[in-house]
Amino acid sequence: MDAARRKLRRRQLDQQLLNLARVTPPKEGWLRAVRQALGMSLEAFGKRIGASGPTAHYIESAEVSGALTLRRLRSAAEALGCDVTVTLTPRKRLETLLQEQALRVAREQVARTGHSMAMEAQGLSAEDLEIMASEAAEEMIRRGDPRIWK
């Protein structure tokens, strides 16, 4: 995928992800919250998933602790008439994440170059180093340089 397509895809994903509501899961977990809202007993839930009441309780607890597999969560959700939706929600726009990471890598590269130049009495100012880093980061993004994520 070329640079223009990657950038377009980042913008499209950013737009889609911005439209998603950030929802805080209930502290007791989604399974228990939905089951209780439906007025379903733990035993009835267990029967619907083909397990005992204690196993159903374990499944609800495993969801809260993060130990429940996605397969098991889907099965339990099905028993409650629900679907499971998994969404990665970036904390920042994808474009911003990429720019910040590229700039970090570029600064490291420029710092090494700046150090070598300083040893040869050709030192650069902090402003010059930052300009060089910004330009290098833009070029790395344009090329899709894999070193951005190493």
Whether 44 is in a domain gets the answer: yes
DSSP string, 30-72: HHHHHHHHHT--HHHHHHHTTS-HHHHHHHHHHHHHT-S-HHH
Higher pLDDT, 138 or 113: 138
Q: Which residues contact 16 (CB under 8 A, 6 or more apart)?
A: none
- 84-125 tens-digit pLDDT: 998 888 889 999 999 999 999 999 988 887 555 544 445 667
Question: Which pLDDT score, from 0 to 100, does residue 119 have?
Answer: 45
Q: What is the CATH number of the domain that holds 35?
A: 1.10.260
Helices 30-38, 53-65: crossing angle, 10 deg rounding: 130
Q: Mean pLDDT throughout 48-67?
A: 96
Full residue range of the structural domain in which residue 26 is found? 21-79
7 token code pair = 């950038």
Whether 30 is in a domain gets the answer: yes
Whether 132 is in a domain gets the answer: yes
Whether residue 25 is found in the same domain as residue 73: yes
Q: Which segment of 124-128, 136-140, 145-149 scores lowest on mean pLDDT?
A: 124-128
Higher pLDDT, 122 or 145: 145
Question: Which pLDDT score, from 0 to 100, does residue 123 have?
Answer: 62
- 5-42 tens-digit pLDDT: 999 999 999 988 887 877 889 999 999 999 999 999 99
| Whether 10 contacts 98, CB under 8 Å | yes
Query: 């083909």: which residue's tokens?
Result: 50
Whether residue 52 is found in the same domain as residue 101: no
